[in-house]
Each structure stands twice: as structure tokens, then as C-alpha cells.
Amino acid sequence: MPPTTPGPGPGNGEAARHTRGGGAPRSARQYRPGHGRHAENTIMSALVRAGLVPRSYLLTTQGRKTGRPRTNPVVPVDHDGRRWLVAPYGPVSWVHNARAAGRVSLTRRRDTREFTIREVPADEAGPVLKRYVRISPSTRPYFQATKDSPVEDFITEASRHPVFELIPAGEDQQRGHAER
């Protein structure tokens, strides 16, 4: 069978584009993991572990293939009385691990809390993504919508940025979010 060549478009080295109101399209940067990103995550993790980075936590997921704990720095979002986890770089490894396990933990300093997760549809994710872009400026280049864009632009973009509701372990049964 001959090898296939990926077509042009987001995720294949090309920036995604989105046009609003007939204006010039704004391109979104694509996340590219590598040695630099690994070093950056290691440094950020140490700073977050020490409690030196505002709003940041260490997310731990169980590796879906190895079963080993995997840790990444994240910025949870508090919105409408609930807590959310946003994947600003798209469906990266921690997203796949979280989906497979259905559970994650968040740690800040010495405080670790366990959560079950519920991935939400685009209409529910849109307002959360808008809030996230406001509080996490370092990830704005990965979004086509700007911090001042309407929620509809974030709903359109939701398929590229998974959003999970964080439900404190034990409350999932009480709230009717039985394990799937």
C-alpha cells in the first residue's frame, strides 16, 4: 500500500484560520511538543509545585498505556459556580489520558484533590473558553478568537480545545454524573 500524504490544514503544519465579519482572518498557533516544551513544563511544574505561579495547578492523569502518573501544569477556570479544565493546545496527551481514566487530580503546594471529569459540548464549552482566554494570556496565540470576541466565536472553536467539568470525587454520584 503506498504511503499517504496528509492534506493541508490545521494540525498539518498550517495555521487554522477564522474570518469574522468579513475582516482579515486571525491565525491560531499550532502546539508543537518537543524538548523545549518539555523543559518549559519541567520548570513551570517546579514553580507551580512551590505555589509561585498564580492560578496554576499540577494536573496528574494516569497514563492510558503505561498506567504511570503523568503531570502537567494547568490553569483551571472557575465559571458559573463550577470548576473547569481547558485544553488550550488541543487534544494533547493529558487530554487522551484524562478521557481514558475519567479521573484527574489537581495539586497546589501540598494540597491534592481528586476529580471525575465530564467533557462538555461546544455550546457549554464556549463561555468557559472565553473566560479562560481572559485569565490565561500566554495561551491566547493558540486561539483564533480574541479575548474580546463574542461567545459564538469560542463555540465555533470548541472542537479544537476540549473542555472538562471538574467534579469533586464523591460528588459525582450525588450530582447524577455516574461513571460511564
With respect to residue 81, please indicate whether it lies within any of the assigned structural domains: yes
Residue 47 is assigned to a structural domain of this protein: yes
Mark residue 107 as left, alpha or beta (left: phi above 0; alpha: psi -120 to 50; beta: remaining). Answer: beta
Find the CATH number of the domain harbouring 81: 2.30.110.10
- Note whether residue 38 is domain-resident: yes
Report pLDDT for 30: 65
Q: What is the CB-side half-sphere exposure of residue 66 using CA atoms within 13 A?
A: 8
User: Whole domain around residue 58: which residue ranges?
Assistant: 33-174
The predicted structure's pLDDT at residue 41: 76
The answer to whether residue 5 sits within a structural domain is no
Residue 179 lies in a domain: no
pLDDT at position 34: 65
Q: What's residue 64's pLDDT?
A: 96
Task: Report how many domains make up the chain.
Answer: 1
- Phi, psi at residue 5, to the nearest 5°? -110, 125
Q: How many CB atoms lie within 10 A of CB 25?
A: 12
Which residues lie below 8 Å from residue 6, measured CB to CB, with a gap of 6+?
A: 12
Q: CA 42, CA 62: separation in Å to the nearest integer?
A: 18
What is residue 40's predicted lDDT score, i.e. its pLDDT? 77
| pLDDT computed for residue 53 by the predictor | 86
78 found inside a domain: yes
Could you read off the pLDDT tens digit of each residue along the chain, which spans 180 residues?
Answer: 444 433 343 433 334 444 444 444 566 666 666 667 678 778 888 888 888 888 999 999 999 999 999 999 999 999 999 999 999 999 999 999 999 999 999 999 889 999 999 999 999 999 999 999 999 999 999 999 999 999 999 999 999 999 999 999 988 666 555 444
* 93 Cβ neighbours under 8 A, 6+ residues apart: 70
Domain presence at residue 46 = yes
Rounded to two decimals, what is the model's pTM? 0.76
